[in-house]
Amino acid sequence: MKINIKENIGPRCIIKEDGQKIYDAIYEVLKRGETVTLDFKDVSQFASPFFNFAIGQLLKDIKEADLRHLLHIENLNETGKMVVERVIENAAKYHGNKDYRKIVDDILAEQAKEAN
């Protein structure tokens, strides 16, 4: 499957809602083990919310190694590539379960570290 992002979304890949559209179009294809190519030709602007939902979200159910093998990205400029890498790295570490006590522990620990 190949998706021309500019035709489907436009020249700006910014908001999460547009990212969700891409996710919805490619998820089942990837789950079946088929390749997907996202062509970003003439897309000029990118932001993390779009990629969080379009690509990062895939890592809930697809291992990172499999995703990198199946998902091909074309014509993405350097800033877009950097954001995608950051999104994948972030999503790969995300577990989804919010341990509020641990979050408070982390907040207070960082504060204590800075105070010393």
Partner 1 sequence: MSQMIIYVPRINDGPKDFAKLFNIWTQVNDYEQHVRFDFSRCGFLRPNAVAFLGGLARLVESRNGTVVFDWDSAVNPAVHANLCQNGFAETFGSPFSGWTGNSIPYREDRSKDMNGIMDYLAYNWIGRGWVHVSNRLRDAISERMWEIYDNAFEHSGTEIGVFSCGQYFPHNDTLLLSVVDYGQGIPAKIRTFVGSDPRAQDLPASACLRWAFTRGKSTSTGSVARGLGLDLLKEFVRVNQGTLEVYSNEGYAIIDKDGEAFENRDISFEGTVVHITLRCDEKLYRFKDET
Indicate whether 15 belongs to the interface with partner 1 (CB under 8 A). Answer: yes
Indicate whether 85 belongs to the interface with partner 1 (CB under 8 A). Answer: no
Beta-bridge mates of residue 74: 39
* Sole binder of partner 1 in the list 27, 47, 66, 73 (CB under 8 A): 47
Indicate whether 52 belongs to the interface with partner 1 (CB under 8 A). Answer: yes
Instruction: Please count the CA atoms within 13 angstroms of the CA of 29 that sit on its side-chain side.
Output: 16
Structural tokens at position 100: 């509020």
Q: How would you class 50 by CB atoms within 10 Å of its CB: exposed for 0-12, middle for 13-18, buried for 19 or more? A: buried
Indicate whether 116 belongs to the interface with partner 1 (CB under 8 A). Answer: no
**3-state DSSP percent of the chain in helix, strand and coil, to 5:** 60, 15, 25
* Sole binder of partner 1 in the list 56, 67, 71, 76 (CB under 8 A): 56
Q: Which is nearer to partner 1, 2 or 59 (CB)?
A: 59
Structural tokens at position 92: 């790969």
Which is it for the CA torsion 26, 67, 40, 16, positive or negative?
positive
* Sole binder of partner 1 in the list 32, 65, 111, 116 (CB under 8 A): 111
The site for partner 1 (CB under 8 A) is made up of: 12, 14-16, 44-49, 52-53, 56-57, 59-60, 77-79, 83, 86-87, 90-91, 93-94, 96, 98, 100-101, 103-104, 106-108, 110-111, 114
